[in-house]
Structure 1
Amino acid sequence: MSDAAMKSDAAMKPGWTPRSAWAGILSEGAFGAKGPAGVIAAAREGLGIASLIAPEDGEAALSQAVKTRFGLDLPTTPRTAASAGRALAWAGPGQWLLVTQNRAGFADDLQALSGLAAIADQSDGRAVLTLSGGRIRAALAKGCMIDLHPSAFPVGSAALTSIAHIGVHLWRAEDGPNGAVFEFMVARSMAGSFWSWFSASAAEFGCQVTLARDCANGRG
């Protein structure tokens, strides 16, 4: 190929700009009922997310590696384990999600577990919301089939379920100033559909939406 042809080919390639999973879907601010917001939705950005699947008879070796590197025990029931900006969420028998607060060192984390599990980086394939507020359980009860009462779903609980025909991975984080805190994760391609359901459910109680700066700018 001639130099001219190569330059022409390069010029025709589109320039890709990273976009938040919530870009064009969420708008920062309040909506729904007036007054203090009963529901608070915060978009999560820049997370490191990877699925881990232990091979047959390989869970013990993976568990030891996770314990050594992160100081965490692999949950063997629908639970999460978290410390120092990292969390492991149960995702089924022999399966987990590794979630980090940012992607600094994330590649090194995955490399350290290489050979001990089937690993797939899901960082750009998932959309995550932190949901809280005094009426969050009432809003979620309109479509979530999981009993989120504290006695049935205490801090650290995790679940895989379906909401509005959308697969959802959720877990309960440590309580915050607005009470119970839930992390909700869906496939990026379903972010708009999930928000359509959730925003309609939360409007009755008033909802405050907060966006990370990159999310507000359309970048992830």
Structure 2
Amino acid sequence: MDNLKEINCKEIFRKAYENRYTWQNDFNGYQGKCIFFTKNNIHQGNFLLGKDFKPNIQKIEDEKIVKSIASQLFEVCIHRVKREFEAVHSENNFNLLKNSESGIEMIVSGKNKGDKYRVKNNCINMVYRKIHGTIIEIFVEEFLETGVGSLSKKYSSQQINPDTLQTNSEKLEYEDEFVNVGKEDYWILKSRTIKYLNQNQEEEMQKFVFEDLCLLN
């Protein structure tokens, strides 16, 4: 037990947090082609994502598809914003739950009480966070090591009801591919495949592909 007491969870989490891949603060956005595949359909268009992270999708009529593509682009970008550890977590403490082959699992006390994380090899491989009244649970299977930080590339995500602690969404399985664009180590999403089981327990798949990517000046 003495060894467990010596584990400084906040320091371990801080190092993993700072090891996440983020973009430079002078990021001005990027543009390219977007293609959306489902079992029955293909939609193709163009997109522009400004420095405000608001995606503008063109040449696709279906509003639902537009919204779906835009939400993937926004979600990826929001995770690339560099925010200092102290600014985000200064009011949180990190307390050891368990140390296993899967990593060091910790629970937060303080401002974000009840959130949980797991860290292994300087990467956060499990997140259990309350966001907008819902608990999101994410498990990461694979990371891409960019040389300037790690990016999760294969992971699952599920929503949990905070009152009953029962799952209240399908489990989404993600597989992401990234490409390095420009001279400044800008790793950008090239494709994202999302798989899940529908109400009949049949596997459904959506794929988002982004091509001809170039940074905006």
Query: What TM-score do you get using the length of structure 1 for normalisation?
Result: 0.29
Q: Which structure's residues are more often helix, by fraction?
A: 1
Between structure 1 and structure 2, the one with the greater Rg is 1
Q: RCO (CA 8 Å, sep 6+): is it higher in 1 or 2?
A: 1
